Protein backbone atom coordinates (compact mmCIF):
# COMPACT_ATOMS: atom_id res chain seq x y z
CA UNK A 1 0.00 0.00 0.00
CA UNK A 2 1.38 3.41 -0.93
CA UNK A 3 1.93 5.59 2.12
CA UNK A 4 0.33 9.06 2.12
CA UNK A 5 2.66 12.00 1.70
CA UNK A 6 3.86 13.47 5.03
CA UNK A 7 2.62 16.89 6.09
CA UNK A 8 4.55 19.90 4.86
CA UNK A 9 6.42 22.10 7.35
CA UNK A 10 4.50 24.94 8.96
CA UNK A 11 5.58 27.70 6.57
CA UNK A 12 4.34 30.44 4.30
CA UNK A 13 5.12 30.68 0.60
CA UNK A 14 8.38 32.42 -0.19
CA UNK A 15 11.09 33.05 -2.71
CA UNK A 16 14.48 32.27 -1.14
CA UNK A 17 16.36 33.46 -4.22
CA UNK A 18 14.84 36.91 -4.62
CA UNK A 19 16.77 39.02 -2.12
CA UNK A 20 20.53 39.58 -2.09
CA UNK A 21 22.43 38.65 1.05
CA UNK A 22 24.61 40.79 3.23
CA UNK A 23 28.35 40.29 3.30
CA UNK A 24 29.03 37.13 5.34
CA UNK A 25 31.36 37.28 8.33
CA UNK A 26 34.69 35.48 7.98
CA UNK A 27 34.35 31.78 8.64
CA UNK A 28 37.23 29.39 9.11
CA UNK A 29 37.09 25.91 7.72
CA UNK A 30 35.76 23.48 10.36
CA UNK A 31 38.04 20.69 11.44
CA UNK A 32 37.66 17.31 9.83
CA UNK A 33 35.58 14.87 11.92
CA UNK A 34 37.58 12.44 14.00
CA UNK A 35 37.19 8.71 13.94
CA UNK A 36 34.65 7.55 16.51
CA UNK A 37 35.95 5.80 19.61
CA UNK A 38 33.86 4.09 22.25
CA UNK A 39 33.66 6.37 25.32
CA UNK A 40 34.87 5.11 28.72
CA UNK A 41 32.33 3.42 30.99
CA UNK A 42 31.86 6.47 33.28
CA UNK A 43 30.55 8.44 30.28
CA UNK A 44 28.20 5.57 29.41
CA UNK A 45 26.91 5.54 32.99
CA UNK A 46 26.46 9.33 32.99
CA UNK A 47 24.60 9.27 29.65
CA UNK A 48 22.27 6.53 30.89
CA UNK A 49 21.54 8.38 34.13
CA UNK A 50 21.04 11.72 32.36
CA UNK A 51 18.62 10.29 29.78
CA UNK A 52 16.62 8.44 32.43
CA UNK A 53 16.45 11.47 34.71
CA UNK A 54 15.46 13.86 31.91
CA UNK A 55 12.65 11.58 30.72
CA UNK A 56 11.20 10.98 34.17
CA UNK A 57 11.81 14.17 36.09
CA UNK A 58 12.22 17.12 33.75
CA UNK A 59 15.31 18.91 32.49
CA UNK A 60 16.66 20.86 35.49
CA UNK A 61 15.54 18.55 38.23
CA UNK A 62 16.62 15.57 36.15
CA UNK A 63 20.15 16.93 35.83
CA UNK A 64 20.44 17.41 39.60
CA UNK A 65 19.19 13.88 40.27
CA UNK A 66 21.45 12.45 37.57
CA UNK A 67 24.45 14.28 39.06
CA UNK A 68 23.68 12.85 42.50
CA UNK A 69 23.30 9.35 41.11
CA UNK A 70 26.50 9.70 39.11
CA UNK A 71 28.38 10.80 42.24
CA UNK A 72 27.06 7.80 44.15
CA UNK A 73 28.02 5.55 41.27
CA UNK A 74 31.54 6.99 41.19
CA UNK A 75 31.99 6.42 44.93
CA UNK A 76 30.69 2.88 44.60
CA UNK A 77 33.04 2.21 41.69
CA UNK A 78 35.98 3.59 43.63
CA UNK A 79 35.21 1.32 46.57
CA UNK A 80 34.77 -1.66 44.28
CA UNK A 81 38.05 -0.86 42.57
CA UNK A 82 39.85 -0.82 45.93
CA UNK A 83 38.36 -4.19 46.87
CA UNK A 84 39.32 -5.72 43.51
CA UNK A 85 42.81 -4.26 43.68
CA UNK A 86 43.33 -5.67 47.14
CA UNK A 87 41.98 -9.05 46.09
CA UNK A 88 44.10 -9.18 42.94
CA UNK A 89 47.25 -8.20 44.81
CA UNK A 90 46.88 -11.17 47.18
CA UNK A 91 45.72 -13.69 44.61
CA UNK A 92 48.42 -16.11 43.45
CA UNK A 93 48.96 -17.23 39.88
CA UNK A 94 47.70 -20.66 38.79
CA UNK A 95 49.97 -23.57 39.70
CA UNK A 96 50.87 -24.22 36.06
CA UNK A 97 52.08 -20.64 35.61
CA UNK A 98 49.41 -19.74 32.97
CA UNK A 99 47.59 -16.45 32.93
CA UNK A 100 43.96 -16.35 34.08
CA UNK A 101 41.33 -17.03 31.43
CA UNK A 102 40.43 -13.91 29.38
CA UNK A 103 36.79 -14.99 29.07
CA UNK A 104 35.68 -12.75 31.93
CA UNK A 105 37.31 -9.72 30.25
CA UNK A 106 35.64 -10.61 26.94
CA UNK A 107 32.23 -10.80 28.62
CA UNK A 108 32.80 -7.46 30.34
CA UNK A 109 33.86 -5.85 27.04
CA UNK A 110 30.74 -7.18 25.30
CA UNK A 111 28.52 -5.85 28.09
CA UNK A 112 30.15 -2.42 27.90
CA UNK A 113 29.79 -2.24 24.11
CA UNK A 114 26.14 -3.28 24.35
CA UNK A 115 25.49 -0.55 26.94
CA UNK A 116 27.16 2.07 24.72
CA UNK A 117 25.00 1.00 21.76
CA UNK A 118 21.86 1.11 23.91
CA UNK A 119 22.71 4.61 25.15
CA UNK A 120 23.20 5.76 21.55
CA UNK A 121 19.78 4.40 20.56
CA UNK A 122 18.06 6.15 23.48
CA UNK A 123 19.76 9.46 22.61
CA UNK A 124 19.50 9.33 18.82
CA UNK A 125 16.55 7.20 17.69
CA UNK A 126 13.06 8.68 17.56
CA UNK A 127 10.71 7.63 20.34
CA UNK A 128 8.34 4.92 19.25
CA UNK A 129 10.75 3.38 16.74
CA UNK A 130 10.38 -0.40 17.14
CA UNK A 131 13.71 -2.02 18.08
CA UNK A 132 14.37 -5.77 18.04
CA UNK A 133 17.02 -6.93 20.50
CA UNK A 134 18.19 -9.89 22.56
CA UNK A 135 16.77 -9.98 26.13
CA UNK A 136 19.90 -8.46 27.71
CA UNK A 137 20.01 -5.59 25.19
CA UNK A 138 16.27 -4.97 25.61
CA UNK A 139 16.80 -4.80 29.38
CA UNK A 140 19.56 -2.22 28.87
CA UNK A 141 17.32 -0.11 26.64
CA UNK A 142 14.36 -0.25 29.02
CA UNK A 143 16.55 0.62 32.03
CA UNK A 144 17.74 3.74 30.16
CA UNK A 145 14.18 4.92 29.53
CA UNK A 146 13.31 3.47 26.12
CA UNK A 147 9.65 2.55 25.78
CA UNK A 148 9.11 -1.08 26.69
CA UNK A 149 6.22 -1.27 24.23
CA UNK A 150 8.63 -0.31 21.41
CA UNK A 151 10.94 -3.28 22.09
CA UNK A 152 10.75 -6.73 20.43
CA UNK A 153 12.76 -9.25 22.50
CA UNK A 154 14.28 -11.94 20.26
CA UNK A 155 13.88 -15.26 22.07
CA UNK A 156 14.52 -18.83 21.04
CA UNK A 157 10.81 -19.41 20.43
CA UNK A 158 10.23 -16.02 18.74
CA UNK A 159 13.02 -14.30 16.81
CA UNK A 160 11.06 -12.50 14.10
CA UNK A 161 12.79 -9.17 13.40
CA UNK A 162 10.22 -8.29 10.73
CA UNK A 163 8.04 -6.74 13.44
CA UNK A 164 10.68 -4.05 14.07
CA UNK A 165 12.13 -0.96 12.37
CA UNK A 166 15.65 -1.50 13.73
CA UNK A 167 17.55 -4.44 15.13
CA UNK A 168 20.36 -4.29 17.66
CA UNK A 169 22.71 -6.99 16.38
CA UNK A 170 24.76 -8.51 19.21
CA UNK A 171 26.65 -11.79 19.14
CA UNK A 172 23.56 -13.49 20.60
CA UNK A 173 21.38 -12.18 17.76
CA UNK A 174 23.94 -13.25 15.15
CA UNK A 175 24.07 -16.76 16.64
CA UNK A 176 20.28 -16.98 16.71
CA UNK A 177 19.49 -15.70 13.21
CA UNK A 178 22.63 -16.45 11.23
CA UNK A 179 22.55 -15.72 7.50
CA UNK A 180 18.78 -15.14 7.62
CA UNK A 181 19.39 -11.74 9.16
CA UNK A 182 21.42 -10.54 6.17
CA UNK A 183 18.35 -10.91 3.94
CA UNK A 184 16.19 -8.72 6.18
CA UNK A 185 18.39 -5.68 6.82
CA UNK A 186 19.99 -2.81 4.93
CA UNK A 187 23.36 -3.61 3.32
CA UNK A 188 25.18 -1.12 5.58
CA UNK A 189 24.67 -0.79 9.36
CA UNK A 190 23.19 2.41 10.68
CA UNK A 191 25.78 2.50 13.48
CA UNK A 192 28.64 0.26 14.65
CA UNK A 193 30.13 -0.05 18.14
CA UNK A 194 33.17 -2.00 19.30
CA UNK A 195 35.39 -4.22 17.19
CA UNK A 196 35.61 -7.82 15.94
CA UNK A 197 33.47 -10.40 17.76
CA UNK A 198 32.50 -7.94 20.52
CA UNK A 199 30.96 -5.45 18.07
CA UNK A 200 27.32 -4.38 18.18
CA UNK A 201 25.54 -3.08 15.09
CA UNK A 202 22.32 -1.14 14.78
CA UNK A 203 20.72 -2.09 11.47
CA UNK A 204 17.61 -0.95 9.64
CA UNK A 205 15.03 -3.62 8.80
CA UNK A 206 14.36 -3.90 5.07
CA UNK A 207 11.49 -6.23 4.21
CA UNK A 208 12.43 -6.08 0.53
CA UNK A 209 15.97 -7.18 1.33
CA UNK A 210 19.30 -5.40 0.97
CA UNK A 211 18.86 -4.91 -2.79
CA UNK A 212 15.49 -3.24 -2.33
CA UNK A 213 16.90 -0.97 0.35
CA UNK A 214 19.82 -0.04 -1.89
CA UNK A 215 17.46 0.99 -4.67
CA UNK A 216 15.42 3.18 -2.32
CA UNK A 217 18.57 4.71 -0.85
CA UNK A 218 19.93 5.53 -4.32
CA UNK A 219 16.63 7.17 -5.33
CA UNK A 220 16.61 9.20 -2.10
CA UNK A 221 20.20 10.32 -2.66
CA UNK A 222 19.28 11.50 -6.16
CA UNK A 223 16.51 13.61 -4.62
CA UNK A 224 18.94 14.98 -2.01
CA UNK A 225 21.44 15.83 -4.73
CA UNK A 226 18.86 17.83 -6.67
CA UNK A 227 17.41 19.60 -3.63
CA UNK A 228 20.83 20.25 -2.10
CA UNK A 229 22.29 21.84 -5.22
CA UNK A 230 19.25 24.07 -5.60
CA UNK A 231 19.41 25.12 -1.97
CA UNK A 232 23.14 25.86 -2.18
CA UNK A 233 22.31 28.59 -4.73
CA UNK A 234 19.95 30.44 -2.36
CA UNK A 235 21.25 33.98 -1.87
CA UNK A 236 20.34 34.10 1.81
CA UNK A 237 22.09 30.85 2.66
CA UNK A 238 25.79 31.09 3.49
CA UNK A 239 27.74 27.84 3.66
CA UNK A 240 31.22 27.15 4.97
CA UNK A 241 33.49 25.25 2.58
CA UNK A 242 32.84 21.85 4.12
CA UNK A 243 29.10 22.49 4.47
CA UNK A 244 28.83 23.49 0.80
CA UNK A 245 30.59 20.30 -0.29
CA UNK A 246 28.33 18.20 1.92
CA UNK A 247 25.09 19.69 0.61
CA UNK A 248 25.94 19.59 -3.11
CA UNK A 249 27.05 15.95 -2.82
CA UNK A 250 23.63 14.91 -1.55
CA UNK A 251 24.83 13.98 1.93
CA UNK A 252 22.40 16.15 3.91
CA UNK A 253 19.21 14.80 5.49
CA UNK A 254 16.04 15.52 3.51
CA UNK A 255 14.34 16.94 6.62
CA UNK A 256 17.00 19.66 6.80
CA UNK A 257 16.68 20.34 3.09
CA UNK A 258 12.91 20.74 3.55
CA UNK A 259 12.85 22.94 6.67
CA UNK A 260 15.72 25.29 5.83
CA UNK A 261 14.26 27.03 2.73
CA UNK A 262 11.21 28.60 4.46
CA UNK A 263 13.54 30.11 7.05
CA UNK A 264 15.39 31.91 4.27
CA UNK A 265 12.26 33.87 3.41
CA UNK A 266 12.88 36.06 6.46
CA UNK A 267 16.50 35.55 7.51
CA UNK A 268 20.05 35.18 6.24
CA UNK A 269 21.46 31.96 7.67
CA UNK A 270 25.13 31.01 8.04
CA UNK A 271 25.85 27.27 8.41
CA UNK A 272 29.25 26.12 9.62
CA UNK A 273 28.73 22.40 9.08
CA UNK A 274 26.43 19.42 8.77
CA UNK A 275 27.19 16.31 10.81
CA UNK A 276 26.17 12.86 12.01
CA UNK A 277 27.08 11.09 15.24
CA UNK A 278 30.41 9.23 15.15
CA UNK A 279 29.24 5.60 15.05
CA UNK A 280 27.03 6.23 12.02
CA UNK A 281 30.06 5.92 9.77
CA UNK A 282 31.05 7.56 6.51
CA UNK A 283 27.85 6.62 4.68
CA UNK A 284 25.57 8.06 7.32
CA UNK A 285 23.19 10.80 6.13
CA UNK A 286 24.07 14.07 7.86
CA UNK A 287 21.12 14.82 10.15
CA UNK A 288 22.67 17.58 12.29
CA UNK A 289 23.01 21.20 11.18
CA UNK A 290 25.00 23.88 13.01
CA UNK A 291 24.07 27.54 12.46
CA UNK A 292 26.64 30.11 13.63
CA UNK A 293 25.13 33.41 12.41
CA UNK A 294 21.61 34.70 11.77
CA UNK A 295 21.30 37.91 9.72
CA UNK A 296 25.04 38.45 10.16
CA UNK A 297 24.85 38.31 13.96
CA UNK A 298 26.34 35.71 16.27
CA UNK A 299 24.18 33.16 18.04
CA UNK A 300 22.88 34.36 21.41
CA UNK A 301 21.13 31.92 23.71
CA UNK A 302 17.53 32.99 24.30
CA UNK A 303 17.86 36.28 22.43
CA UNK A 304 15.95 37.83 19.50
CA UNK A 305 16.77 36.14 16.22
CA UNK A 306 18.15 33.00 17.85
CA UNK A 307 14.96 32.55 19.90
CA UNK A 308 12.87 33.00 16.75
CA UNK A 309 14.78 30.32 14.84
CA UNK A 310 14.66 27.95 17.83
CA UNK A 311 10.90 28.41 17.96
CA UNK A 312 10.61 27.82 14.22
CA UNK A 313 12.29 24.41 14.39
CA UNK A 314 10.44 23.37 17.55
CA UNK A 315 7.08 24.21 15.97
CA UNK A 316 7.46 21.65 13.17
CA UNK A 317 5.42 18.48 12.98
CA UNK A 318 6.80 14.95 12.49
CA UNK A 319 8.68 13.93 10.48
CA UNK A 320 10.13 17.46 10.32
CA UNK A 321 10.28 17.92 14.11
CA UNK A 322 13.89 17.76 15.38
CA UNK A 323 14.81 15.65 18.38
CA UNK A 324 16.94 18.49 19.80
CA UNK A 325 17.35 22.23 19.20
CA UNK A 326 20.01 23.73 21.45
CA UNK A 327 22.66 26.44 21.69
CA UNK A 328 26.09 24.96 22.35
CA UNK A 329 29.78 25.74 21.94
CA UNK A 330 31.34 25.37 18.49
CA UNK A 331 34.83 25.79 17.08
CA UNK A 332 34.32 29.55 16.54
CA UNK A 333 31.88 30.35 19.35
CA UNK A 334 28.23 29.56 20.04
CA UNK A 335 26.23 27.62 17.45
CA UNK A 336 22.59 26.67 17.16
CA UNK A 337 22.65 22.88 16.73
CA UNK A 338 19.54 21.25 15.25
CA UNK A 339 19.46 17.46 15.41
CA UNK A 340 17.01 15.13 13.69
CA UNK A 341 16.48 11.58 14.95
CA UNK A 342 17.92 8.49 13.28
CA UNK A 343 17.35 6.84 10.93
CA UNK A 344 16.81 9.38 8.18
CA UNK A 345 13.56 8.58 6.31
CA UNK A 346 13.97 7.58 2.67
CA UNK A 347 11.68 8.90 -0.06
CA UNK A 348 10.56 11.97 1.87
CA UNK A 349 11.34 14.43 -0.91
CA UNK A 350 9.67 12.23 -3.55
CA UNK A 351 6.56 11.89 -1.37
CA UNK A 352 6.25 15.69 -1.13
CA UNK A 353 6.56 16.02 -4.91
CA UNK A 354 3.71 13.55 -5.43
Q: Name the pLDDT band for 108 (thresholds 50, 70, 90).
A: confident
- What's the pTM? 0.72
Q: Which residues contact 33 (CB under 8 A, 6 or more apart)?
A: 275, 278
Residue 198's pLDDT is what? 79
Average pLDDT over residues 244-267: 96
Residue 282's pLDDT is what? 56
Average pLDDT over residues 194-199: 81
Q: Name the pLDDT band for 288 (thresholds 50, 70, 90).
A: very high
Say yes or no to pLDDT of 271 above 50. Answer: yes
pLDDT over 70 percentage in the chain: 70
Which range has the worst mean pLDDT, 44-53, 131-140, 161-170, 267-276?
44-53
Q: Where along the chain do its domains lie?
A: 41-86+105-208, 211-353
Say yes or no to pLDDT of 152 above 50. Answer: yes
In whole angstroms, what is the distance from residue 92 CA to residue 304 CA?
67
**Residues 281 and 340 sit within 8 Å (Cβ to Cβ):** no
Q: Which residues contact 213 (CB under 8 A, 6 or more apart)?
A: 185, 186, 187, 204, 206
Average pLDDT over residues 77-81: 42
Residue 119's pLDDT is what? 96
Q: Is 202 helix (H, G, I), strand (E, B) or coil?
A: strand
Q: Is 346 helix (H, G, I), strand (E, B) or coil?
A: coil
Residue 212's alpha-carbon distances to 40, 202, 215, 216, 278, in angstroms, are 38, 19, 5, 6, 26
Amino acid sequence: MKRPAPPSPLVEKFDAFSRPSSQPPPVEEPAQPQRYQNPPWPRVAWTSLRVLAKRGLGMRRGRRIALGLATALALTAAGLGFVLLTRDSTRSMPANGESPSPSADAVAAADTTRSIAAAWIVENVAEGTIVACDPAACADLESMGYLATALVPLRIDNADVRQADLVMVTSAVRARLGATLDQLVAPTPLAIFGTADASVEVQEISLDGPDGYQQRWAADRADRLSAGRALAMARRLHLGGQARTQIIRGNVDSRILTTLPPLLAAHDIWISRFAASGPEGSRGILRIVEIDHIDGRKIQDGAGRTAFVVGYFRSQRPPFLPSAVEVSSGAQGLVLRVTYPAPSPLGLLSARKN
